[in-house]
Amino acid sequence: MEVQETRVQTDRALTIPNILSMARLVGVPVFLWLILRPEFGGPKSDGWALLVLALSGVSDYLDGKLARRWNQISSLGRLLDPAADRLYILSTLVGLTWREILPLWLTAVLLARELVLLVMVGILRRQGYPPPQVNFLGKAATFNLMYAFPLLLLSDGSGWISSLAAIFGWAFAGWGTTLYWWAGVLYVVQVRRLVRADAMAD
């Protein structure tokens, strides 16, 4: 995460990148419902859940790419994009933990990082700084987790495809969790430096 503010290039809310981000947000409850259907007596809908997750990944790539190319970076977009990322991660954690595909300790580790980030955002706002920007390290962590989760969902079956999905899924989960916390630690360091600099200035 970076604390520096990206230059807002438009105040329009209904831009193509923002519409893509909104569509991703709408897909979050649909995705969670598809994952949890078998837990409530419904049929397995993992294939549809994977499709929603894949479309989310494509739109995540496109909204940032188009916003930069078409000079449509907006304040709303800066909020929607990371919000959609975190909500997909949270819904996947809930769904996969509920189905006992993910162990509870891994879910706790990832949620603890989100709690740390929320505290840091609160400190930033109190100091008058804008919301954090997602940097390469944070995006890399998110992409690793977004690869890990569908693979782990696919591993909930039998046969060689499920076995292979489990191997790669846990590899991505390990890298993603490590990078997720690494980005979080760097963000804490940046916030601490800002607070210290403000204290010295006063």
111 in Cβ contact with 93 (< 8 Å): yes
Mean pLDDT of 96-102: 91
Looking at the chain, the whole-number percentage of residues with pLDDT higher than 90 is 18
Torsion-angle region of residue 128: left (phi > 0), alpha (psi -120 to 50) or beta?
Answer: left
pLDDT at 39 over 70: yes
Residue 103 is predicted with a pLDDT of 92
Residue 168 is predicted with a pLDDT of 94
Q: What is the DSSP letter of 45?
A: -
What's the pLDDT tens digit per position in 43-66?
888 889 888 888 887 887 777 777
Mean pLDDT of 1-21: 61
pLDDT-based confidence at residue 133 (cuts at 50, 70, 90): low
pLDDT at 5 over 80: no
CA–CA distance, 157 with 152 (Å, rounded to integer) = 10
| Residue 131: Cβ within 10 Å count | 15
Report residue 14 as tokens. Answer: 């209904």
Mean pLDDT of 144-170: 88
The amino acid present at 135, given as its one-letter code, is: N
57 in Cβ contact with 146 (< 8 Å): yes
pLDDT at 136 over 80: no
Residue 97 is predicted with a pLDDT of 92
| Residue 162: Cβ within 10 Å count | 14
Give the HSE-up count for residue 41: Cα atoms under 13 Å, Cβ half-sphere.
0
Residue 1 is predicted with a pLDDT of 40
Residue 130 is predicted with a pLDDT of 67
Residue 25 is predicted with a pLDDT of 87
Mean pLDDT of 106-118: 89
Determine which of 92-101, 118-127, 143-152 has the lowest per-residue pLDDT on average.
118-127
165 in Cβ contact with 155 (< 8 Å): yes
CA–CA distance, 154 with 84 (Å, rounded to integer) = 22
Mean pLDDT of 125-151: 78
Query: What is 16-201's CATH number?
Result: 1.20.120.1760
132 in Cβ contact with 200 (< 8 Å): no
Report residue 32 as tokens. Answer: 């969670």
> SS3 for 136?
helix
- Report in angstroms the alpha-carbon separations of 163 from 152, 154, 156, 168: 10, 9, 9, 9
